[in-house]
Amino acid sequence: MLKLVHNETQPTFFERFFFENPVQNDVFIIEVNKKHFLFEYDAVIDMIKKSSTKQQEYFKRQLQIYRYLSQDLRTCLQEVATDYIRRIFEENKKIEN
């Protein structure tokens, strides 16, 4: 007797979350140390999906809190992008010293 096995994968938390909570792609600006950084919401979502497992756990908790508090998801994505820029500046400071 043959068994057919479906080769379907379950959607990840992030795929399911962003499908259930769509965000219109738009551009936003972050200013740090008199420098301006342009981000698209879709780019931040891709960055979250491609981040390390440890970072993904942090992002997952952050997204769940925003959903629980019924806050605007765009604000959460802006905070993720801001944290990303801060980490880059901190890493550059360490390299320069």
State which residues form the domain around 46: 15-92
Structural domains counted in the chain: 1
Structural tokens at position 39: 């981000």
CA distance 14 to 18: 6
Average pLDDT, stretch 34-63? 94
Question: What does pTM read for this prediction?
Answer: 0.79
pLDDT value for 93: 72
User: For the segment 70-97, what is each residue's pLDDT rounded down to a tens digit?
Assistant: 888 999 999 999 999 988 888 777 776 5
CA distance 31 to 6: 48
4 within a domain of the structure (yes/no): no
88 within a domain of the structure (yes/no): yes
